[in-house]
Amino acid sequence: MATFLSAGDVARIVHEIGMRSFWLRLVDYLRTDFTAWDGFDKSPRFASHSPGGVIELMPANDAAAFAFKYVNGHPGNTRLGLQTVVAFGALADVATGYPVLLADMTLGTAFRTAATSVLAARHLARPESRTMALIGLGAQSEFQASAFQAILGVDRLRVFDVDPAATEKFVRNMAGAGLRLTRCANAREAALDADIVTTITADKKRATILTRDMVAPGAHINGVGGDCPGKTELARDLLLDAEIFVEYAPQTRIEGDIQQLPADHPVTELHEVIAGRRKGRAAASSITVFDSVGFAIEDFSVLRLLRDLAIETGVGRDIDLVAAPGNPKDLFSLLRSGAAGETRAARRDELLPVD
């Protein structure tokens, strides 16, 4: 048996334990797994690119558990009434190979992306940072605002999106959150004097959202939107003048904003800073960049958390995800006995309308 969590189940778990508690738990799980970085098998994700987007598989495992996530990125989907990003993931027991969790990861991806941004900012931004610019107000924006408020106490947001409807959506969703919002006319105005600048744009193209002259001394930048080959947000001159931190350098050099730089340009992997092996910000006036592309260990963390919270809250349901013959050496017996057909018929009956 494996536990299944739908998107509704994930939302229910968050409501059961409280949003701030969920953020705190998730950041702690991420910190634990980043600290144990060397104990994971790691590789850049498998990516299948098409003109309209990308489909990716992201695996990671330690000695106890194996996780993977299926995720897409199709910026044009919104014109079809579809989401830009959807995902699902699984967690399995390494000792037996059996899956223990199958879960929607559309919400999970949004949560872990924002939580990783906060984890990076906790180590890289100036401690007194309270004002954040959000440039790009799509599906990820509210998660970033919520996480930074809950974990770092950010209470002032300067926001901009090229789509006025996206701005209205963001303002509506964040009403009552206790944040002071300033709507800005462009990205330059949003970034003006911000302690933290987070860029979350979606177009699959080389773009320049943020340039060096737009950023104040001492600012920390989360570059979240540049996350596949040919897709960037940060100007090259800004990167060259910044201290750059990444998740997993072999992947980020292909997908992140640093794809614009030479392959040997110095960067620091975030786990080294979290574990205390490398220094974070060098000086109060330094510009730090977290070139965030998303890495599979982050999905491992959120799937591990969802498994534990499903047990704690009782949310989710058991499903027969894999075959389970009475005799493990006799798989064919499921066909001979008609058990597989009976199972399908029972499930079909469940879907029939009841008078």
Q: Which residues are catalytic?
A: 227
Radius of gyration of the chain (CA): 22
DSSP single-letter state for residue 123 = H
User: How buried is 17 (Cβ within 10 angstroms: 0-12 exposed, 13-18 middle, 19+ buried)?
Assistant: middle
Neighbours of 172 (CB within 10 A): 9
What distance, in Å, lies between the first and last C-alpha atoms of the chain? 32
- Measuring CA to CA, how many Å separate 24 from each of 17, 111, 121, 155? 11, 11, 14, 17
Tokens for 343?
Answer: 């199972």
Tokens for 261?
Answer: 């730089």
Gap between the Cα atoms of 222 and 199, Å rounded: 6
Gap between the Cα atoms of 300 and 65, Å rounded: 9
- Measuring CA to CA, how many Å separate 154 from each of 77, 109, 343? 31, 22, 52
By the 8 A CB rule, do 239 and 210 touch? no
Gap between the Cα atoms of 244 and 268, Å rounded: 6
